[in-house]
Amino acid sequence: MQLRTLGSSGLRVSPLCLGTMTFGTPVDEADAIRLVHGAIDLGINFVDTANVYEGYARYLGSAGGVAEEIVGKALRDRRDKVVLATKVGAPVGPGPQDRGLSAVHILRELDASLRRLQTDVIDLYIIHWPDKYVPPETTLEAIEIAVRQGKIRHFGVSNHSAAQLCELLWIADRQGGPRVVSSQIPFSLLRREFQNDLPFCEKHGIGVTPYQSLQGGLLTGKYRRGQPPPDGSRVAEKPDWVWELDDPLFDRLEGIESLAEQLGVPVAPYCLSWTLSQPAMTSLVVGAKRIEQIQEAVTATEITIPAEHRVLLDALCPPPWQQPDPVRGA
Ligand SMILES: NC(=O)c1ccc[n+]([C@@H]2O[C@H](COP(=O)([O-])OP(=O)(O)OC[C@H]3O[C@@H](n4cnc5c(N)ncnc54)[C@H](OP(=O)(O)O)[C@@H]3O)[C@@H](O)[C@H]2O)c1
């Protein structure tokens, strides 16, 4: 796999990034470590985790830490082989300082993440969610301290709109601090609400690393209309993490599946290839339960979606409304 540059960071990352949200349950420690090693052997050099990840055991405010511990063990003798990303900001306890983007929370959680990940430095530290109670100036000051201390190399954000990215760039310029280099947004053929933000990211050196580009496994062809979900699938094991399988959803899934079939490729890499071809897309954060799923995902880089398919896909899964340009046309 050819590496790509992540925004303005200079970091070179593979077009697929291994997601670790399911490490702990249903992917136990031994399998998770095998997945990390297998992904590296397949050419993936980018691993995404978060302080809160602990697989299906996670609930709002639970302490997390499980996935980072496992990633730390997996990378003990191969830390230099990966660009390591983790996140901060989601609740890890009941108290007011147990969440969000205050300096005290960020700097405390950063130390905990470094310890669990068994590393001195995090390559990409990601603000998990915006925090309406903390001025972004304060958050950026904490990030700058962490950069100066050598504990993080770059910082990115997740679940932020283009307007919020713009504010962070503006403050960074004003304060002379670090610039946001990446944006992790939900984005798949079925979920395109951030589509109109992509040109902004492309223009301003922000690499997009979307998550759930398989929409939690819906875009893999394994769920069939009128049939129970396969044993061991996410819908069978953790239905509240996946959309409800109703007829309008199956109409779209079947339409996408028939286009992938026309091209003679499996539907999962077909969908990943479509996502990868969108503006500013740098690396797709993909989850997997088994190494075969990663093996299939990496074939996305060999697929080209024909122009006529794009038109049909837009009809099946419409992009968000965009302000028309009366001067220059669409
Ligand atoms: N920043 C954020 O707020 C945020 C939020 C969510 C996720 N993330 C990141 O994104 C990563 C991916 O999220 P995700 O796992 O929810 O979404 P995903 O990548 O869309 O779905 C992955 C799941 O789909 C199934 N799957 C994958 N490949 C398959 C294949 N070829 N055939 C059949 N099934 C296949 C597997 O589940 P089963 O086999 O169990 O069905 C796998 O765990 C996370 O690990 C995390 O790092 C970030």
Cα 285 to ligand 1 centre (Å): 8
State pLDDT tens for residues 3-53. 999 999 999 999 999 999 999 999 999 999 999 999 999 999 999 999 999
**286 pLDDT exceeds 80?**
yes
Torsion of CA 73, 74, 75, 78, to 10 degrees: 130
Which residues are CB-contacts of 156 (< 8 A; sequence separation ≥ 6)?
7, 85, 124, 125, 126, 127, 180, 181, 182, 183, 184, 207, 209
The verdict on the CB of residue 21 being under 6 Å from ligand 1 is yes
Mean pLDDT of 206-219: 98
Question: pLDDT-based confidence at 85, cuts 50/70/90?
Answer: very high
The residue count for the chain: 330
Ligand 1 pocket mutation, candidates 82, 220, 242, 291, criterion most atoms within 8 A of CB: 220
* Structure tokens that stand for 168 in this block: 């962070």
**330 pLDDT exceeds 70?**
no
Domains of the chain plus CATH, in order, are 4-316 (3.20.20.100)
Cα 144 to ligand 1 centre (Å): 31
State pLDDT tens for residues 108-118. 999 999 999 99
The verdict on the CB of residue 45 being under 6 Å from ligand 1 is no
Pair 1, 14: CB distance under 8 Å:
yes
Mean pLDDT of 100-129: 98
Cα 151 to ligand 1 centre (Å): 28
